[in-house]
């Protein structure tokens, strides 16, 4: 491994490959945590992801390409709101709106690093201002369909319920939900694909998505054997190759306009989950770049 670069950004890229005006991908760290209900630490997730990314090999052995050459810019960390989760959602929406409105010809991708899952509502609100036909593709162990939780409608446990007030959501990998959520999903005929069926029904999943999609990926969609560093790890989740296969297919068939990756809670003494998350983000960047022909292998 080469000497650690002085630049502190995703992958530790030098200015040549991280300049804001040239980069196709913009990383927005959002170290926000306010409503987590079991394990804590998601506020430290964005930094842990970037720290781990500094040690990744930037050649992608699956895609046979130097993905970083598409250029990846890391934006300043967002300052968390002290006025409650609803204000934070609105703050994120305003901030993200300004960022994506500056993208010319819709030829750049914004990636949010969480932080807890409640941040996703702010991202989706912003993207809907630009893409009226947006569908959200939601990867998660949990349905996140509660109307309120712990006294707020903007809890991480309510993220998808809030997003549904704005646009359609297709959920994949679910393997835990409350009776309230199950009843709501049945009553409203929600598009939920449970863990054991989503992988086998990828064609059905794609048929429910619009052309333009936003991906929100809760890292606990992965099995805790490879992703224990999350607030509420649920057994029996997807493994690395399954999730990557799914994402590659989606990137090849749909226009991913943005995404966020949330709910990493770093563990003292175990860097593997941080590294896995960083590499997953880099792999997704590679899938998108390849599908859009932004980079040659």
Chain segment 73-88, per-residue pLDDT in tens:
999 999 988 888 899 9
Phi, psi for residue 149 in degrees, rounded to 5? -155, 130
pLDDT digits (tens, 9 = 90+) for 245-264: 999 999 999 999 999 999 99
CB-CB contact of 260 with 102 (8 Å): no
Domains recognised in the chain with CATH numbers: 10-291 (3.40.800.10)
pLDDT digits (tens, 9 = 90+) for 98-157: 999 988 777 899 999 999 999 999 999 999 999 999 999 999 999 999 999 878 898 888
Query: pLDDT category, 1, cuts 50, 70, 90?
Result: very low
pLDDT digits (tens, 9 = 90+) for 211-234: 999 999 999 999 999 999 998 999
pLDDT at 161 exceeding the cut of 70: yes
pLDDT digits (tens, 9 = 90+) for 85-99: 899 999 999 999 999
Distance CA 278, CA 261 (A): 10
Angle at 125 between CA 35 and CA 203, to 5 degrees: 95
């Amino acid at each position: 491994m080469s000497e650690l670069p002085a630049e502190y950004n995703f992958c530790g890229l030098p200015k040549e490959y991280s300049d804001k005006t040239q980069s196709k991908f913009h990383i927005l760290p959002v170290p926000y945590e306010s409503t987590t209900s079991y394990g804590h630490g998601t506020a430290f997730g964005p930094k842990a992801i970037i720290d781990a990314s500094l040690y990744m090999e930037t050649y992608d052995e699956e895609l046979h390409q130097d993905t970083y050459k598409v250029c990846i810019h890391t934006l300043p960390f967002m300052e968390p709101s002290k006025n409650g989760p609803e204000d934070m959602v609105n703050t994120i929406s305003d901030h993200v709106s300004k960022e994506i409105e500056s993208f010319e010809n819709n030829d750049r991708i914004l990636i949010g690093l969480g932080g807890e899952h409640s941040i996703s509502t702010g991202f989706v609100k912003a993207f809907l201002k630009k893409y009226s036909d947006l569908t959200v593709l939601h990867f998660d162990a949990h349905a996140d369909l509660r109307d309120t939780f712990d006294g707020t409608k903007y809890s991480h446990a309510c993220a998808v319920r809030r997003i549904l007030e704005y646009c359609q959501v297709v959920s994949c990998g679910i393997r835990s939900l409350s009776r309230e959520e199950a009843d709501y999903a049945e009553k409203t005929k929600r598009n939920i694909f449970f863990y054991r069926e989503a992988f086998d029904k990828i064609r059905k999943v794609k048929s429910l998505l619009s052309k333009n999609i936003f991906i929100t990926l809760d890292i606990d969609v992965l099995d805790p054997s490879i992703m224990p560093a999350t607030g509420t790890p649920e057994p029996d989740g997807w493994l690395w190759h399954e999730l990557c296969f799914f994402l590659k297919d989606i990137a090849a068939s749909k226009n991913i306009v943005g995404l966020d990756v949330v709910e990493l809670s770093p563990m003292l003494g175990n860097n593997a989950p941080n590294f896995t998350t960083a590499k997953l983000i880099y792999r997704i960047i590679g899938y998108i770049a390849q599908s859009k022909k932004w980079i040659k292998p």
